[in-house]
Structure formats: structure tokens, C-alpha cells
Amino acid sequence: MKRTLGWMLGLLLAGSLAAGVQLGPRPFYLLDALEPGPLEERLAACAAARDDYPRSPLAIGHRGAALFFPEHTREGYLAAVRQGAGFVECDVVPTRDGELVCRHSDRDLAETTNILATPLAAKCRAGFRPGQRPDCRTTDLTLAEFLSLEGWPEGHDPRARRPEDYYRAAPAWRTLAYAPGTVMSHRGYIKLLEPTGVNYIPELKKAELPPGLSLEAYRRRIVDDYREAGVPPERVYLQSFDLEDIRFWRRYAPEYARNAVWLDGRYRERGFDPARPERLRPSMAELAAGGLRYLSPPLWVLLTLDGEGRIVPSAYARAARAAGLELIPWTLERSGPLADGGGWYYQSVAPAIHSDGDVYRVLDVLVNEIGVRAVFSDWPATVAFFDACGRRRPDF
């Protein structure tokens, strides 16, 4: 009976998500904020001429649809699918009993769930105290305990006097209208997306591994969850900041490692300069020669300003593409209002960022001048709209 009910629910889910992409108002609000010019005219003409939009292979739902939905929750994942995302991301960490769940960090439960208002707060290494930051870890909970929690938008209030006020303090530009959400196991995420046809993009996170789970077993388990579910390798884009993870997957499961994505964390190194990619080790050519196909840096690494203050591709972007690497930058729609230059994600082009509509100017360079493979976004509808109306290059 349970198998039959699950099958019927799967058909209903697939039918509801196949009804069509629902962009909602935000892409058009951003269009209204875009300064007049050829790009604005092209996007506006397209928006006026069409009333439906296809699923976008360019759009990645970063942690779901985290601009307004709690990250890594069922509700956020389904929102990303309905917005036309071609990929939906699950950051993976282990539980105490060695199961995998979707969580950006093994140490963020106090800021992204309601754990502080539940009996499981007793399992936090440092519980709630006014003026102090709690330390609540997924790796200290069993899978069943983790799944009993509610997901909440990422944020915290260090001035909170009560536990529930601490985790209900998302930034002012977010909304709590869609909270709480349903937290997800990795296998649950796989099952949820299976009938949609959307691609999986799981990231193996650094974590304090629980007793009995070796690093090798952790690396194997993320692949095995897809194998056991019968997911075709071409729908899986394994990702990690650690090249050793990718090298392991090439040995262990080459069919699943073919689409592996290296999240390039070298921007954190002293002396990093996207204008001097020849200094990077491994070099772009060495990465490509080693079998890497997909490279994923922050947005700002791919962008710079020319002598007239226009946004153009960086030397890093040109070198990566010249070596044959596909680029997947992160993260659009994560900076809040862009009137102040866009913050960390736009730091290399801040003087050219003046309004929320400038996301389309950034996408124009990423898509039409650099030729990125896909873009992580906290609101994938924005990328799906641009893919349908702003792309001048053929699909990759």
C-alpha cells in the first residue's frame, strides 16, 4: 500500500511540475529596474511577446530557492523546479549514524533550523545563551532526529534574549512568509527530483565525520545513493572544493565523475588575482588535461571593468574558456539590494552596479560574452527568464 501511494504521489508531483515554468513577478521587476538601452529593449520585447517559458539548462537552484524559501528544504527545492531550474543543489553532510542530509554546513543548525526551540537543543555543543553563538551540529544528530527539525531562512540575531528570536532573524531583505520548511535527507532529495527530470548537483561538504564513517566511505556514499536509486550518471553533477574528492570519484565511479565540478576556492589564497590566471596552480591547461570539465568560481572572479567602466570578462574567464573548461559561477541573487554596488559577489565590478536590474547586465556578460555553462542563483527564475529572452549564443 505504501509503495502504491508513493507511486501515485510521484505521478501527481510530476504532473504538477510538468504544467509549465512559473517565473512569477521578480524577473519582470528586475527588468523594470534595468537602465534603458539595447539589452533592456531586447528583454522587454521578448517579455511582451511570450506567455510561457521553458525549463532552463542555465539555471541552478542554489540550495533550492533560498532568496525567499528556507535553504535545503522540500519547499525551496520545489520552488526552484517550478521556476524553471535545470539543476537543483543539495549540499551534503553526514549525520551521527552515517546517513547523508542536505545542509550547507555541519555546524549551521542554530542559524537555519528551529533546533534551539526543541529538545534536541540539549545536543548542541554550546546551547543558546544571550550574547553567545550556539554550536549545533548535524553530525551530532541521527537522521531521524535531523528530520524532526524545521528549516528556517538563514540568519541569526546576536542580541536575541530568547532561542526562538535567535533563529528567526533572517536579513531584513528576506521574508519569512515561506517558513518553516521541511528539511531533507540526500536520498529524499533524490526521490523528490526524480520525476521532474531536473539535474542533481550535490556538493560534498567538509565536515567533522562521525565515528565509524571514514572519508573514503563518505565519498563513496554520495555516489552510491544515486547508483542505488538508479539515477543515470548524466543527470548527476558531483561537486567539491577539494580536488582530491573529484580524483577519488574518477577512480571509484568514472561514469558519475564525468560531470564533476571543481568549486575553485583559490580566491581565498593570498595574492590571488583573476587578472593573472597564469599564476594559478594547477593551471587551466593542467586542470583540463587532468580530465576536469567544469570549473566553478565566484561571480566576481569572472568579471572586471574595462577602461570605460563597462563590465567585461576577466582574464581568468578568458583563460578558462581558452583551455576548454566550462564555467559555472556562483551566486546570483544572494547579495540583497544592489544599489550599494552589490557587495562581495560583485566586488570586482562594484562601480558599475547601481540597481537590482544590473543582474541582467552581469548575466549578459556571463552568458553572451563568456559562455558560461550554468549559473547558481538563489532565485532561479531570474536566470530562466534571461536564458529565454537574453541569450544571443546557441545553447551549450
At 271, which amino acid appears?
G
Q: Would you say residue 193 has pLDDT above 60?
A: yes
Quick one: average pLDDT of 19-31? 93
Residue 202 burial (C-beta neighbours within 10 Å; 0-12, 13-18, 19+): buried
Report how many helices (DSSP H) and strands (DSSP E) the chain contains, helices first: 15, 13
Residue 369's nearest CA partner among 314, 296, 299 is 314
At 175, the pLDDT band (50, 70, 90 cuts) reads low
- Which residues of the chain form beta strands (DSSP E)? 56-61, 85-94, 100-102, 150-151, 181-182, 199-204, 239-240, 261-263, 294-296, 303-305, 311-313, 326-327, 375-377
Q: Would you say residue 230 has pLDDT above 90?
A: yes
Residue 83 phi, psi dihedral angles, 5° rounding = -80, 0
Q: What stretch of H or E contains 391?
A: none
pTM of the predicted structure, to 2 decimals = 0.94
Q: Would you say residue 27 has pLDDT above 50?
A: yes
Residue 14's nearest CA partner among 202, 232, 183, 191 is 191
DSSP letters spanning 338-367: -TT--GGGGGGGGGG--STTHHHHHHHIII
At 5, the pLDDT band (50, 70, 90 cuts) reads very low
| CB 70, CB 153: distance < 8 Å | yes
Q: Are strands 85-94 and 100-102 parallel, antiparallel or unpaired?
A: antiparallel
Specify the domain boundaries for CATH 3.20.20.190 within the chain: 26-93+183-389
Residue 317's nearest CA partner among 371, 362, 279 is 371
Q: Which residues contact 19 (CB under 8 A, 6 or more apart)?
A: none
Q: What is the pLDDT of residues 103-145, one digit of tens each?
A: 999 999 999 999 999 999 999 999 999 989 999 999 999 999 9
Quick one: average pLDDT of 302-324? 98
pLDDT confidence of residue 176: 64
b/e 51-79 (16+ beta carbons within 10 angstroms → b): eebebbbbbbbbbbbbbbbbbbbbbbbbb
Q: Would you say residue 336 has pLDDT above 60?
A: yes
Q: Which residues contact 100 (CB under 8 A, 6 or more apart)?
A: 92, 93, 94, 185, 186, 187, 221, 222, 225
Sign of CA dihedral 85, 206, 296, 153: positive
DSSP letters spanning 253-308: -HHHHTT-EEE--GGGSTT--TT-GGG-SS-HHHHHHTT--EEE-BGGGGEEE-TT
C-alpha cell at 63: 540550495
pLDDT confidence of residue 275: 98
At 1, the pLDDT band (50, 70, 90 cuts) reads very low
What is the Cα–Cα distance from 312 to 134, expressed in whole angstroms?
42
Per CATH, domain 26-93+183-389 is 3.20.20.190: yes
Quick one: average pLDDT of 95-110? 97
Quick one: average pLDDT of 254-269? 98
What is the Cα–Cα distance from 138 to 365, expressed in whole angstroms?
39
At 350, the pLDDT band (50, 70, 90 cuts) reads very high
Cell numbers 519569512: residue: 176
What is the rounded (10 degree) CA torsion for 285, 288, 294, 298? Answer: -20
Q: What is the pLDDT of residues 275-302, one digit of tens each?
A: 999 999 999 999 999 999 999 999 999 9
pLDDT confidence of residue 8: 38
pLDDT confidence of residue 24: 96
Averaged pLDDT score across all residues of the chain? 93
Q: What is the pLDDT of residues 351-366, one digit of tens each?
A: 999 999 999 999 999 9
